[in-house]
Structure 1
Amino acid sequence: MGSVVFLLRTEADAEDPFAAVLHAAGYQPFVLGVQEVVWVDPEQLQRVLAHPEAYGGLILTSPRAVEAVRRLGQLLEAWRTHPVYAVGPRTAEAARALGLRPCGQESGTGINLAHFILTQPRPKRPLLFLCGARRSEELPVLLRQQGIPLEECVVYDTRPIIPDVPTAAPLPDWVVLFSPSAWESARQLSLDWSRVRIAAIGPTTAQALRQQQVRVDAVAAKPTPEGLLQALSAVSV
């Protein structure tokens, strides 16, 4: 049998695309929900989205930010003509489901998306950045340093929960962390961490984990199922 991989996701999903790709490659993936999403001030988000004319575009760096918008109902048509910048294929796919036309999804990380935005026509009005309470500083700092007007709106937060490991799950060879905060839940698992390899879903997550003194054995170059598979395959267990 292939290596056992625990995927520490915000929420467990039976149709997780990362699990599907790893399973097809011979791994034994198990998806564990490690965070509870808390929606922050939807009334404020509703007020902001009611005035698309005040903004020069929209920045979305996670599917949860898109979900916060979806939960409010129909978007004003004017948003569909605005530039929309999204990190990663899942965020872009969720944005397209709302009728938006995202670009920049190949950037893979927030900092790379910021560099992509800097190659686009400079907005005359602020870009609206819908983010989580624990978002990285890299994207907003770089854009502001380059004179790009930016308004942030926190739309969700996450709280760690103890992962519910399936009874049939063997001890893992790999634990994959999809965010720095996932480590808060991971370390509550009864594992001998000297025998378990740790993978990060991208360079930004890896950097934040290392700042917490967490050993990272593999880093996905892009936050995609294929990127994760390549990272795991490059490291022998």
Structure 2
Amino acid sequence: MSIARNTVLLLKSEKSEDAQDKYQDILESNKFEVMVVKTLTFQYKNIEILRDKLTNPDDFCGIILSSPRCVNACSQALRKERIHELWKLKSNFTVGEATYNEVLIKIGIECRGKESGNAKNLSQIIVQSKSSFDKPFLFPHGNLKTDTLKLELGRENLSLDEVLVYDTLPNPQIKEDLEKVTSGFSTIPEYLVFFSPSGFHSSIHYLRKVPIDLSSLKIIAIGPVTQLAIEENNLKVYAVAKAPTPEEVLKAIL
């Protein structure tokens, strides 16, 4: 059994087609060897319901997009058509730079909040302008969303029109993928980076097959929710990336 020093395993969700992995780029430019295993896949649903809401912007004060999958759902709903021009005049919000960039490319509207990093921080940004919001926000989301945004905004009498647009599922090939990067569970990278609680839960069972105490590795969590999921499984978190960005992940590793 061996530990591959100066090697990082990114345990990530499915990424957009043809998207360049900026996490891998920044780590490799800092002399780390990088491996990537897809932990999750996504199944889209209720796209016609979302389409109906997107064609009625007058019903909303804006849209909140919390992940690239939400952006993909909107893109599917629009069927490659341009989004209604009125959405560009709304108060639109997003969590994280990756989602912000996806919105610009695939939908073409400007959003605030890319620096927020999580739902609680985003709610605080939204609440700063609460007096100007007299209609609900359109909120496409996945099946594993928390109620943080709904509760925080609800305290300020701000409402969400929620649409479940995708289900998160474990990557059915994850065991085989992990076997490849660990040489049949005989070696393991020095750094393990978990991007979400669901990604952690989908992979930890297989990672425990490696004959080594995982707490002896440097486990990186992206955000406090992922940190909690790891610690609840009696594993020590080496560092927490404060935001889901390549720069924050590098900072946590260093």
Same fold? TM cut 0.5: yes
Quote the residue 1:46 is aligned against.
Answer: 51
Q: Which amino acid aligns with 1:180?
A: P
Give yes or no for the alignment of 1:139 onto 2:149. Answer: yes
Once the two structures are superposed, the pairs formed by residues 1-237 of structure 1 within 5 Å of their partners are 3-11=6-14, 15-72=20-77, 73=79, 74=81, 75-97=83-105, 98-122=107-131, 123-161=133-171, 162-163=173-174, 164-165=177-178, 167=180, 171-187=188-204, 188-189=206-207, 190-191=209-210, 192=212, 193-233=214-254
TM-score after normalising by structure 2 = 0.85
Q: Using the alignment, how far apart are the partners of 2:64 and 2:235 within structure 1?
A: 30
212-221 vs 69-78, which moves further: 212-221
1:131/1:211 Cα in 2 relative to 1: closer, same or farther (>3 Å)? farther
CA contact (8 A) 1:16 1:31 kept: no
TM-score after normalising by structure 1 = 0.90
Q: Using the alignment, how far apart are the partners of 2:69 and 2:142 within structure 1?
A: 8
Per the TM alignment, residue 121 of structure 1 is displaced from its structure 2 partner at its CA by 4.2
CA contact (8 A) 1:109 1:204 kept: no
Q: Using the alignment, how far apart are the partners of 2:181 and 2:150 within structure 1?
A: 43
Q: Which amino acid aligns with 1:56?
A: C
Q: Which amino acid aligns with 1:54?
A: D
1:52-91 deviation per Cα after TM superposition (whole angstroms, max 9, x unaligned): 1111111011111001111222222221221110111111
Consecutive unaligned residues in structure 2, runs of 5 or more: none
User: SS at the partner of 1:107?
Assistant: coil
Consecutive unaligned residues in structure 1, runs of 5 or more: none
4+ aligned runs moved over 4 Å, structure 1: 211-214
1:164-206 deviation per Cα after TM superposition (whole angstroms, max 9, x unaligned): 1374665211111111001122212333323322211112322
User: SS at the partner of 1:181?
Assistant: helix
- Percent identical pairs in the alignment equals 31
Q: Using the alignment, how far apart are the partners of 2:229 and 2:34 within structure 1?
A: 24
Aligned length: 233
66-75 vs 223-232, which moves further: 66-75
CA contact (8 A) 1:174 1:197 kept: yes
Q: Which amino acid aligns with 2:192?
A: V
CA RMSD of aligned residues (A): 2.0
Larger gyration radius, structure 1 or structure 2: 2
1:111-167 deviation per Cα after TM superposition (whole angstroms, max 9, x unaligned): 101100011243110011111110122121111112112221111111112421374
